[in-house]
Chains A and B, each alone.
Chain A
Amino acid sequence: MSEADGKIKSVSIVCSKGSLEGIYPALIMANGARMEGIEASIFFTFFGLYAILKKFNEKIKIATVGNPAMRVPDAKGILLPTIIGAIPGMSTFATKMMMKEMEQLDIPPIPEFLEMIHDAGGRLYACKATVDMFHLKPEDFCDEVEKVLTVGEFYQLSAGSEIIFT
């Protein structure tokens, strides 16, 4: 909620993508909000659910196809065309490179990051429609996930929050 002093009080972040570059922005923004004393919750939906699925969330990868901005070996390197990005192992390799960079910046792997956000008072929710569609159960999710929510419940919990879709 924006107060008279212009300060954001609460954010609700929707994480809908299951790639590394789809998940991390949501986690960084939620954690960053808590670091500023802003309430934060993340609602994981569709393939974004993989971020909170036990075991699966250790194997999240960068999409090396269909990304016209993707360059190797670094941000100013040469373009990686989709046809090359599709070679088996490409995504794993790119992910490994990026994880190395992130570790140096103290950005944790996804399971540890979820724990960090949870310890910071951030709240994690799973989307009921996707949970049903993917035939998942509450026990499939990591312990930090508070609840499976309907979209209606999500809006109720987000009353007064800024809603951010990633």
Chain B
Amino acid sequence: MPSAEIAGVTVDVNEEGYLTDPGQWTRAIGEAIAAELGIGPMTDEHWKVIDFLRKDTAEQGQVPSIRRIKKTGDIPTKELYALFPDGPLKKSTKIAGLPKPASCI
């Protein structure tokens, strides 16, 4: 398994750069991935999304859909796209240290 040095820490990642162990994640790592993706600077609104993604994934065992982020996370879809343009779920999950979503929805 490849590893990468992000924000001065060595973490396990897959070939697309997604963290493979959410436990290795820190906010500094999130910041660094966001900067690399051209997202940010990270605001409270960004962190609200990241925190929900991490909490919901831990509880449900899978990354939430955009619909669930709206309904359960109370984050409107328009806002999600504005915060993480050009692939909101792909980018936000990467920043959150979670797997890339495998759903079509």
Contacts and interface: CB of A to CB of B under 8 A. Distances in A.
Interface of A: 28, 31-32, 34-37, 105-108, 112, 116, 119-121
Given A35-B66, A37-B86, A106-B67, A119 B76 contact: yes
A121 B105 contact: no
Given A28-B105, A107-B105, A120-B77, A35 B90 contact: yes
6 contacts: A35-B89, A37-B85, A106-B67, A106-B68, A108-B67, A120-B78
Contacts of B67: 106, 108, 112, 116
Given A106-B67, A119-B81, A36 B90 contact: yes
Contact of B81 (A36, A112, A120): A120
Interface string B61-103: 0000111101000001110010001111110000000000001
B36 to A, nearest CB: 16
Nearest to B71: A106
B104 A32 contact: yes
Contacts of A105: 103, 105
A121 B104 contact: no
Contacts of A107: 105
Nearest to A31: B105
10 closest Cβ pairs, A-B complex: A37-B86, A119-B77, A37-B87, A106-B65, A119-B78, A106-B67, A106-B105, A107-B105, A120-B81, A36-B87
Given A106-B68, A116-B67, A119-B76, A34 B105 contact: no
A57 B58 CA distance: 36
Contact of B104 (A28, A108, A112, A120): A28
Contacts of A121: 81
